[in-house]
Amino acid sequence: MDPIEPPTRLLYCPPFTLAAMVRMRVQGWDPVLIISQIICLQTIHYLTLSFVVPPLLSGLTTTSLLTYSGGPSTTGHILDWREMAARPAVPVDGAWAKLRGAWSGGKKVGKAEDDEAVDETDYGVDERRGWLLGLSWIVACAVDVVPLYYLVRRPTAILDFSLTLNFLHLLVTTYYAKSFPTSLFFWVVQALGAILMIVVGEQLCVKREMSSDLDVWNADDEIELDERR
């Protein structure tokens, strides 16, 4: 009986590439990766706001009101929902109302004709600033599509990360302002920003997955053994 000869061909199994390893890691559930992605997305969002907000406020708002509110680079313009809603960041009644008028040496030396009326401009409120802050938020959400596309990658996860960004900002702005947002304009801006991230981010990620190359191995990928056993 003739001895059994070993096979002359061996199906070639390609090694794992870096891209394949990244795809495997992205598709699994990795708490460290998820937390890192959330931190990166939130950081990029606030960094974008910090670059967009000051120039807009400096060039398109009333200088005196902007100076009264702390200047164009104040943290409250980003973290305080009342700034976007064009509401006073300080109480307009009680002890604060008593400070209206002209003061000198700790004494009130003058008052307006209608000193009892509360004028929101006395507290640095500017409706134009609220509109610009809303526009800046939308611009930042548009920029967020880039980290969603390159960091999150999965179309099914775009919704989760987009809503997580808005939820974390809700917690931050509530803590910063010591009050829950009650402005319709604030919620409309948040909704528009989230819709922008979700729709554009998912469309781009789905398009990439549909056009991605598949690793298909056929007979041409087989190699011959140099020696027979």
The values of phi and psi at residue 157, to 5°, are -100, -5
Q: What is the Cα–Cα distance from 126 to 130, expressed in whole angstroms?
A: 7
pLDDT digits (tens, 9 = 90+) for 215-225: 444 444 445 44
The values of phi and psi at residue 110, to 5°, are -170, 165
pLDDT at 129 over 80: yes
What angle (nearest 5°) sits at the alpha carbon of residue 181, between those of residues 179 and 182? 110
pLDDT digits (tens, 9 = 90+) for 39-93: 999 999 999 999 999 999 998 888 888 887 888 898 999 999 999 998 877 665 5
**Residue with tokens 């990795």, as numbered in its chain:** 30
SS3 224: strand
C-alpha separations of 148 from 1, 38, 49, 143, 190 in Å: 65, 10, 17, 9, 17
Check residue 228 and give its pLDDT: 53
pLDDT at 176 over 50: yes
The more confident residue out of 138 and 221 is 138
Query: What is the DSSP secondary-structure string of 82-130?
Result: HHHTT--SS-SSTTTGGG-SEEETTEEEE--TTTTS--GGGGT--HHHH
The reported pTM is 0.71
